[in-house]
Every structure is written in C-alpha cells, then in structure tokens.
Chains A and B, each alone.
Chain A
Amino acid sequence: MRNNSTSFWAFALALPILGFVLPKVGLNEYYFYVAYVVLQYVVLATAWNILGGYAGYVNFGTGAFFGLGAYTALVAMKAFGAPLFVQIAAAAIVGALLGIGAGLLTLRLKGIFFSIATIAAAIVIETFILNWRFVGGASGMQVIRPEVPLGFETYTRLLFFVMTILTVLAIIVARYIEKSWVGRGLHALRDAESAAECSGVPTLRLKLLACAISGALMAAAGAPFPLYTSFIEPHSTFSLNYSVMALSMAVVGGMSRWWGPVLGAILIASTQQLAASASPELHLLVVGLLMVLFVIVAPDGLVGLVQWARKMVGPGRKEVELARGSERA
C-alpha cells in the first residue's frame, strides 16, 4: 500500500509540473484545448462522485454549480478586476454555499429529493442570471481577456496549467475522503442512513461536508470557463449536458473508487472530442447505452472490471479494498 501511495504523490506532483512545462515547450495549441476540456470533466466527475458515489446523493445540478462558478468568476473579474486565482477561490466558496444550501434543504429526506432540489436550484439560478443585465443577461457577454500572466503564450495554455492543479486537488480530496473516516461514514450513510445515525456516525455534518466539497470543486471547475471561451451566455453555461456527462462518467468509470470517475471522464470526454467530426448524436446515444449497460451488467464500472481482472491475473495480491468490494456480492 505504501508503494501505491508514493507513486500517487509522485503523480500528483508531476501533473502540475507537466502542466507548467508542457505549454512552454511549443506543442500544438489544439492539444491544450482538448486537454483542458478533458481535465475539466475529470474535476466535474470526481466532484460529482464525492456526493454521488460515496454518499449516494445524485446531483442533477452539475450544470448549475459549474455555471455559478463561471458567473462568480465573471463578476469577480468585471466588478473587482480580480486575478484568476481569486476568481477560482470565490467560485469555490459560492459553490460550497450552494452545496450546503441544497444539503440543508433536503437534510432528512431520501436521496431522490436531493436530486429534485438540485434540478430546482439549477432553474432558479439560471433565471436570476438571465435577468441580470450586469453579466449580460440572456444576450451573454464578450469577455475581454487581460494579458496572459505567468509568461504563458496563450490563455489556453495558462488555463490548461490551472486545470491540472484543480484536477490534482480534486483527486487528492476524493482520495483522502475515500480512505479516511469521512468516506467510511459516507458509505454507511449511503447504505443505511438511519442505521448509521444510530451507530453514532455524525450523518448530518458528514453529508453537509460532502455537499460543500463537491459543490466547491464543481464551481471551481467552472471558474476559468469565461476566460476559456471568451464569450459567456447562460443557456450553454447552465446546460444540463454537464450533469449528464458527470453522471455518465462516474457510472461508466465506477463510483466506488476515486480513479473510477477519472477513468470515465478521460474515456468519455476524449471520445466526445473525436466524435465531433463524425456524429455527436451517435456519441450521445453510445453514452446513454453505455450508462444503461454498465449499471446493469457492471454496476461497479471500469473499476469493478479492473479489480475483477486483477483478481483473475494475480490472486496473490492482497485486496485492501476487499471490505469495500464485498458489500456488492
């Protein structure tokens, strides 16, 4: 296990360094566009999974958190001229507050009510943005980008670097939660909330904590968006597509481990980029079919398949996550 841990931290350190160096050694601009989008989905899917996978609360408002993050950043930029770092921090705080709000509202209700509340919150927030002229309202707004900081050649390269940091942060948080008492508590909460409460798990606080972290990460993923597109408009920013994508990535990748959504996001987001020239509609159809197929045939997603394959290949390896895997059997 220690071995595993060392390589994880090496990777966590290497990714942002790569993110800083790669954009400066040339390389085709387009790869940074693609990598940015893929990493953005890695963050969204990982954040979604903290609540959806570990605690069993399905968030349908990924688009709302993402869009709120984007618009918070826009306001911070437009009203206060805040630098990108501050924009992201502000977005994360607002996202956490929204998460806590949705959690508080549905505190003692079953998971599906949380889902409904997130749908409702998405519509309410989008309506407010639609009517807010300061951020362009329904017409949207062209974002005038200041000079690129940190000596990057273009904004896309800078934002790619920023997204590698967010990705690593999201993964570290997810991994920590999974391995710590928080994760175990959330699991207990997912499987039997009342039983967990009786046995002394602080369910309320845990749930709110998960809501806040998940919301903060989603909003942070949306914060660089105005600078990325240089034009922002509510309908596409609050799109339900983000919710669909985050959910399908976690389901296909596997919800029980932190690397499940990462795998799912990389797979689905990169094939989506490839499908842009062929038929995106077919890609959507394939995503839908995969989602149904996986929840039925392979409910643990790619994670489950990998673990199964490992067990087949090397039965000698000690299964640390046996306890976790056994609950399905």
Chain B
Amino acid sequence: MSNFTKRSVLRTMLLGLGLATIAQPIWAQDNPIKVGTSMALSGPLAGGGRQSRLALQMWVEDINSRGGLLGRKIELITYDDQGSPAQSPGIFSKLIDLDQVDLLIAPYGTVPAAAVMPMMKERQRLLIGQIGFQINSKTHHDMWFNNSPWSDADSWVGGYFKLGQKVGVKKVAFLAADQEFSQNILAGAKTLATKSGFESVYEQTYPPTTVDFSAMIRAIRAAAPDMVFVASYPADSTAIIRAVGEIGIGSSVKLFGGGMVGLQYEAVMNTLGSQLNGIVNYHTYVPEKTMAFPGVREFLDRYTERAKAENVDTLGFYVAPFSYAAGQILEQAVKATGSLDSVELAKYLRSNEVQTIVGPIRWSADGEWAEPRVVMIQFRTIKDGDAEQFRQEGKQVVVDPDRFRTGDLISPLSEAQRN
C-alpha cells in the first residue's frame, strides 16, 4: 500500500518536472505497459509455477530488448498464489485495482484460475490462460484464450484411446488420484472408453496420501486388462511406476500410462530412468523434429541456462514454452491492434491466428485451441542416470496424433520395455 502511494507521489513529482522541461520521453519511459499474473511459487505446485514465471520473465526481457511494445517497455508483475483459490481472487483484484495492470495472464493451473473467472467476466477483461483445463466451461467468458494445447477431456486423452483401438484393446483398467485434475481427466477417459466399446475391468481412485501401490498394481494384474489408464500426480507417478516394475503388470497389457503428471519433469524422469521405457503418456512438447516450431529450440537452450541458476526444472518442456507463448499471444494482438483495450484485443484474437514458439494458434468460440494437439509419447531406450538424454530425439517418440508422429507404437508393454 505504501509502495503505491510512494509511487504515485513520485509520479506526480515527475509529471511536474516533465511539464517544466517538456520531457515527453521521460514520461513515456516511466509509463511501462504492465502485465500481471500469479502462480504458485511456494507449495506443491511451485515446480510448474516457477517454470512459468521464468519463461514470462524471459519474454519480457526479449521484448524490451527489441524496444518494447508500442514504444513502451513491458513490466511484469507476479504474485505467489500458492496454487490456492483462496488467494487468487484477492491477487487479481490487486493487479487490476491497485497495480492497474494493462494486460492479464491467468494464474498458473486450473484451480486458482477457475476462481478468478467470474471476476474477469464481470469486469470484461481479457485473460490469457496458463496451463488450465476447462476453466471457461461454466463461466463462458468471451475474452478467454488458453495457451495450452487442449480443449476438452476428449482432446486430452483421445489419442490414448485411439492408440488402444489400433492395438485391439477390449478391457481397460483405470487408476486415478483423488485430486482435481486427475478426476476431470478420469471422467473424460471413462466416457471415451464407453464410446470405444471398451469394458472396464478395474477402477480405483486413490487419496493423495497413499504410501504404497503394490496392492493396487497386483489387483490390476489379476484383472488382466489390455490397457491401463493412469491419471496421477508427480509424487504418485514415481511410486506407481516403481510398483509396476516390482510387482509386474502382466503380459496382457498393451498400453500403460495416459494421464500421468510428472513424467514431463526432469526430477521425476531422472529418478525413474530405464523404468520409463515403454510407457505411453501425454505431453505438450517434446524435442522431436515434427515439433521443432520456429524458435522453440533456441528458447529452450536459453531457458536451460537460466533455470540452472534459479534451481527450477531445466528441461522445461511441459510449461515454459507455453508460458512464453502466452506472452507472445499478447504481443501479437497488441502490435496488430495498437491498443491495450480488452475488447479490441479479444476481437483480434477471435479472428486471427497467432504465431508462437509452440506453433500457430487459433481459438474456437470457448477460447480453447481450435485444433488441440496434446501428443502421446512413448519412452524409448532410456538409460539410468543420464539427465541429458531427454533433450535428444528418439527418446520420447510421438506416437499420436499422426501429423506429429515420429514413430510407431511398440506394443505390448513387455515388448516395449525391452527397448
């Protein structure tokens, strides 16, 4: 609060000074375009939150080194929302009412973002999404544009079930965490399974405090499914894959994985090493040649250097390019319209394609990607204890959708594990 008053006093003084000396440039410099957002910088979701903040900072530095936007510098204002919906509405009010930001990027993650949607609609503000899932499905805000390459649950897990149909799956087992994201995905996956004519032979929802998965994996083996769909959080992902290695999942399983969060993070992948081989899982970006969008490799190289210094995930595949793209979305819209007005910008984004380091993006009416492109990847030839291997091609082979495919699915799991 005191900061605010101090700043306005300072500004008034500067203004007086400026009027006296006709110093128009000083005024322009002192009046940057403010971009506001929040993310979890502490708490369990902070791993992703810190990635996203770093990427956005890099975007701001890049754009400022090119002379800014509309001749003004960009200033990024971020707050820690701890990933909690109790924090994010207050923070967004602060951004809008106190900091008076010009542009807004949604809180990182689904839950804190969902809590600010009604406010954004009431105030008619443009909001660029950050790795949120179906946030706009209840609010129907027409100024929402997601940065993440998915729309509904179908777009997320559809590829996994398509692969299942290809290899002749009949029976499917479900394993999902009792957490917001996993439950949403699970609901979508079950609908898809029914649609594909699969029979559900096992279904287990487990609490986030689960210590050991041996009994569940054993039960899945006994149910002898053709395919196992797992929707888990990072800590569980490791424990589940470890238990699969120990207990064995049976030779009937053709496909394993699907919606496991964490298998995109360096720390988790390093821990699991060769145990990852054969698993098929969703991803947003992998360093395969079909996904070499202009600028993304160069961005990730720079990101890695910065991430090492800041003790965040140095791979950054899952979140960082998309957060950078959230900035690029704003950049292109502002440049094209020459305006900071939410209505103008939203109008532009609704009818134009935006070029970003994660490829060109167009949106459908609900603000989700018109052509979702969650990819299903299969881990191949992963060795233990080599952090650098995940930057190479051919380690995370895209097996779906066809336009990004870099290899054919190896199935069943036992066969794929041998590679």
Contact = CB atoms under 8 A, between A and B. Distances in A.
A130 B97 contact: no
B138 A236 contact: no
Interface stretch (A97-105, A179-187, A208-216, A223-231): A223-231
A228 B111 contact: no
Contacts of B396: none
Contacts of B42: 280-281, 284
A138 B184 CA distance: 9
B93 A280 contact: no
Interface stretch (B113-121, B192-200, B280-288): B113-121
A139 B184 contact: yes
Contact of B179 (A144, A230, A235, A281): A235
Contacts of A276: 79-81, 87, 91
Interface in A135-152: 137-140, 142, 144-145
B89 interface: yes
Contact of A156 (B91, B93, B96): B93
Given A33-B89, A138-B179, A229-B115, A280 B80 contact: yes
Given A30-B98, A236-B86, A231 B180 contact: no
A130 B90 contact: no
Given A127-B207, A154-B122, A284-B42, A138 B90 contact: no
Contacts of A154: 122
B84 A236 contact: yes
A231 B85 contact: yes
A229 B85 contact: yes
Contact of B183 (A138, A228, A230): A138
A33 B81 CA distance: 14
Contacts of B111: 140, 231, 233, 236
B178 interface: yes
B94 interface: yes
The secondary structure that dominates the A interface is helix
Contacts of A130: 178, 207
B86 A225 contact: yes
A144 B139 CA distance: 8
Nearest to B95: A30
A197 interface: no
B332 interface: no
B94 A30 contact: yes
A284 B117 CA distance: 28
A233 B181 CA distance: 11
B93 A29 contact: yes
Interface string B65-93: 00000000000011111111111111101
A139 B180 CA distance: 4
A221 to B, nearest CB: 12
> Which size bracket describes the interface of B in this complex?
35 or more
B227 interface: no
Interface in B133-161: 138-139
B180 A228 contact: no
Contacts of A281: 41-42
Contacts of B208: 235
A142 B138 contact: yes
B115 A230 contact: yes
Interface in A258-293: 273, 276-277, 279-281, 284
Contacts of A237: 86
The listed residue with most B CB atoms (<10 A of its CB), out of A130, A137, A236, is: A236
Nearest to A33: B90
Given A130-B207, A236-B84, A231 B90 contact: no
B210 to A, nearest CB: 12
A231 B98 CA distance: 23
A106 interface: no
A239 interface: yes
A156 B123 CA distance: 13
Contact of A277 (B79, B82, B117): B79
A232 interface: yes
B378 to A, nearest CB: 28
Contacts of B118: 142, 145, 230
A280 B82 contact: yes
Given A29-B97, A142-B139, A280-B42, A230 B90 contact: no
A287 to B, nearest CB: 13
Contacts of A228: 86, 89
A94 interface: no
Given A228-B89, A235-B180, A239-B86, 11 more contacts: A33-B89, A130-B207, A138-B177, A140-B85, A156-B89, A230-B115, A236-B84, A236-B86, A239-B84, A276-B80, A279-B41
Interface of A: 28-30, 33-34, 36-37, 127, 130-131, 137-140, 142, 144-145, 154, 156, 225, 228-233, 235-237, 239, 273, 276-277, 279-281, 284
18 contacts: A29-B96, A30-B93, A130-B178, A137-B178, A140-B111, A142-B138, A144-B138, A154-B122, A228-B89, A232-B85, A233-B111, A235-B179, A236-B111, A237-B86, A239-B86, A276-B91, A280-B80, A281-B41
Q: Which 10 A-B pairs have the closest CB atoms?
A: A33-B90, A231-B115, A142-B138, A30-B97, A231-B114, A236-B84, A139-B183, A30-B93, A230-B118, A229-B85
